[in-house]
Amino acid sequence: MDGGTVTLAKLNLKEGIPWRFGPNWPGQRCRAKTRKGAPCQRPALRGKTRCQFHGGRSTGPTTKVGLQRISAAQMKHGKYTKTELAKAKRRAETGRRILAELKRIEGQIMELGLMPDD
């Protein structure tokens, strides 16, 4: 794209010549935010939610190294990873077993009359 085409497009906007993707365009817009914090006004690529400038052409990482890098970058604390959830389930099950055993022992003590009923 040469400089003349960009200038022509800018001149067209200044002179009020309608733009194909103007404010009343009914299609899907890019959902990215610009550096100023405003929503991007460019059209999203077909079947995507982003324009070509905001990653619409990206297919994402495909190698194992790339996928691990993205996963590590997205993880904030690891509290809800599969291994941590499995540990929490084991701790909860251990706690339930201990409480059941304590109730059983308490029942036996009460049957023997060693602990008064409250």
Q: Which residue stretches of the chain are H helix?
A: 3-14, 64-74, 82-112
Q: 36 to each of 18, 30, 32, 33, 52, how far by Cα in Å?
A: 25, 15, 11, 8, 19
The rounded distance, in Å, linking the Cα atoms of 31 and 45 is 11
Domain annotation covers residue 6: no
Domain annotation covers residue 83: no
Predicted local confidence at residue 17, as pLDDT? 63
Number of domains the chain contains? 1
Domain extent for 40: 25-73
Domain annotation covers residue 20: no
Q: pLDDT digits over 23-44, tens only?
A: 777 888 999 998 999 988 889 9
- What pTM was estimated for this model as a whole? 0.42
Domain annotation covers residue 62: yes
Q: pLDDT digits over 49-83, tens only?
A: 999 999 888 888 899 999 999 999 988 898 899 99
Domain annotation covers residue 92: no
Domain annotation covers residue 115: no
Domain annotation covers residue 58: yes
